[in-house]
Amino acid sequence: MKDFINNLYRNHSLIYKGLLFVSTTILIVYLFPKSGKFKYNFEKGKPWQSENLYAPFDFAIKKTAEEISAEKKVITDNSVLYFNVDETVVEKVREAYKNEFREVFHDSIFKKELPKIYDLGELIINELYAFGVLNENYDVSEESSVVILDGRVEKQKTVFSNLIKQDAVKETIDKLLIDNNLENLKTDFVSLFFDLVEPNLIFDKSFTERALKEELDKISYARGSIEKGTLIVSKGEVVEGDKFQKLNSLKSEYESQVWSKSNYIWVLFAYTLLVALALLMLLLFLRKYRVTVFENNTKVTFIFFNIFLMILITTLVINYNAKYIYVVPICILPLVFKAFFDARLGLFAHVITVLLLGFIVPNSYEYMFLQIIAGIVTILTVSELYKRANLFISVGQITLIYIVAYFAFFVIHEGTIETIKWETFIWFVLCGLATLFVQPLIYIYEKLFGLVSDVSLLELSDTNSKLLKELSNKAPGTFHHSLNVANLAESSANEIGANAMLVRVGALYHDIGKMKNPTYFTENQSTGINPHDELSSKESARIITDHVINGIEIAKKHNLPDRVIDFIRTHHGTSVVYYFYMKEKNDYEDVDKLEFSYPGPKPFSKETAILMMCDSIEAASKSLKEPTSTKIDAFVENIIDKQIEEGQFLNANITFKEIQSIKKVLKHKLANIYHLRIEYPE
């Protein structure tokens, strides 16, 4: 059991990567469509490129969206409106009319015509309530069919124009008075019925909508069927009209058919294999070509997280509306990876992501071609991301590539530009604008994952920063030394293609530990008093070597990135404080060399190795007396060869050829610094 636990502990990094690999694969497969995928590609108006296609099973020919929309419009326009009638209203109005009639029409004035006038009032009531009086005005067609319900039972059918609107009551009364030659009673009748007439029809909205839904549900989405084995399209035949609709119907049926449990599991298994294969290729690439990245679980997690994030965002956009697919700024991916790692890793991860997206996007070939070309342009054009102008120029170039490539594809598909969808170009412009979000995104990632980009390095290289100002005030000699080392290291890094910005920042901060005891270092001793004179060799050596530990503590206190702290740890490697070691050796025979050695570790990258060389050369160059070209060459050779003999560069991925190039740069720089001047007369 103990051995098993020990094995787990020793292999915890690989176990973590395995779990990350499996979980990312599952999450990506979860986002994929779980139906079958139609294996033929076809376009309207283009010849059928494959062999003769026969129906693999019986299927219905689906109507087009336009046909279904037209049918729905006809049904909606001719839908029946349902009104509930209140039968008690008519009787109430009649009763009120009897009571009010005598008050309005006195016997003495209308004695002879009183029966005729009364009957006219009854006629008006009958006319008004023949179909009913509406409780409000409705904005519907006059020809709309109407069904009047009495307790949910159909009472009568009519059209909407036969129903009396509120503002049409007076008009109805006037018409009947004119027809019966009693226009002189208009004012009396209008005033009489103004208070008597009540609406008895109320629109039943819920019943009407339910009836409309039932009618819409009866729409057939198919217009015929195709039997198994029927020829659908022949090779070379132009796909248009009915054939195009048949192919679309077959594709839709194939992709949306209900899968059995066994089929579903097979599809799921196949997707898992392909996704796992793609992610495995990425891991193998890291293992073979980016070992430092592979061994850092945080960085591997960061890469997998970004790939999954892009697939998730793209899936959400497709589920919302596939026409916005090109708004998703996929090119952020290579930009981010290039900022934190390098161009080759950025392009490789980008291609893997685009290949995975090919499973879920429409027109997958066109999409993948556009995105891979855009990714290549991103990698080729974006350099020095911390310069804002470079980012804007690159985004403009990426947007232009999108537009040109899409235009070319459209012309190939349609053979004309007359029907081109210009709004798609707007999506590309929006995609370009969204790509500019990479700057704040890089900042967020730096805080979340503890990574360092060139943007942060540029900020750290500012000599007006709080920490470097403190170094300048407390240890001015050390600060000046650091500036000189930074210049030498930057030139050396540029010569061999290393990260010049990183090594410059590392050089600026590598000696910040000397702030704790600045006067114990010769470059800060301006008074001629050496405090080491009062200390033993061991105590002096301990103070000198402790500036590494002190530097790490100060760096962590000021939240410097680990990549910068690595320079503080390694800039002396495991070398010996030679002056005090030899001094102790002169006094005592038995001397422990470890007590006079730096704690290490040794440099483990090109950049940290460059700093060790430049730091030693710059510090020791102060002891050169009457420097000449020959002395400088021998001086540089001796110091760096001694570091090689001590094995200080065994862990760094730096070659002898690169070391020779660095020596050449250092010799040239020192020759410029110590060049002989002519003696001017006083």
Which region among 99-113, 172-186, 292-306, 332-346 has the lowest average model confidence (pLDDT)?
99-113
* Banded model confidence at residue 257, pLDDT cuts 50, 70, 90: low
| CA–CA separation, 390 and 382 (whole Å) | 7
452-483 as b/e: b if 16+ CB within 10 A: bbbbbbbebbeeeeebbeebbebbebbbebbb
Question: What's the pTM?
Answer: 0.63
User: What interhelical angle do 343-357 and 332-340 show, nearest 10?
Assistant: 150
Q: What is the pLDDT of residue 37?
A: 60
Max avg pLDDT among 62-66, 104-108, 121-125, 407-411:
407-411
Q: How far is CA 31 from the centre of its chain?
A: 15
| CA–CA separation, 432 and 426 (whole Å) | 10
Q: Is the predicted pLDDT of residue 438 greater than 70, yes or no?
A: yes
**In percent, how much of the chain has pLDDT > 90?**
31
Find, among 323, 315, 308, 357, the residue nearest to 428 by Cα. Answer: 323
Instruction: Return the CA Rg of the chain.
Output: 44
Question: What average pLDDT is seen over the chain?
Answer: 83
Q: Is the predicted pLDDT of residue 676 greater than 60, yes or no?
A: no
| CA–CA separation, 680 and 682 (whole Å) | 6
| CA–CA separation, 116 and 122 (whole Å) | 10
* Banded model confidence at residue 386, pLDDT cuts 50, 70, 90: low
The per-residue pLDDT for range 636-672, each reduced to its tens digit, is 999 999 999 999 999 998 999 999 999 999 999 988 8
Domains of the chain: 2-32+262-449 (no CATH), 74-215 (no CATH), 454-673 (1.10.3210)
Q: Is the predicted pLDDT of residue 179 greater than 70, yes or no?
A: no
Q: What's the N-to-C CA distance of the chain in angstroms? A: 86
The per-residue pLDDT for range 457-498, each reduced to its tens digit, is 888 888 888 999 999 999 999 999 999 999 999 999 999 988
Q: Which residue, chain included where needed, has tokens 């010049």?
A: 500
* Banded model confidence at residue 109, pLDDT cuts 50, 70, 90: low
The per-residue pLDDT for range 518-569, each reduced to its tens digit, is 988 988 887 778 888 788 888 888 999 999 999 999 999 998 988 899 999 9
**In percent, how much of the chain has pLDDT > 70?**
88
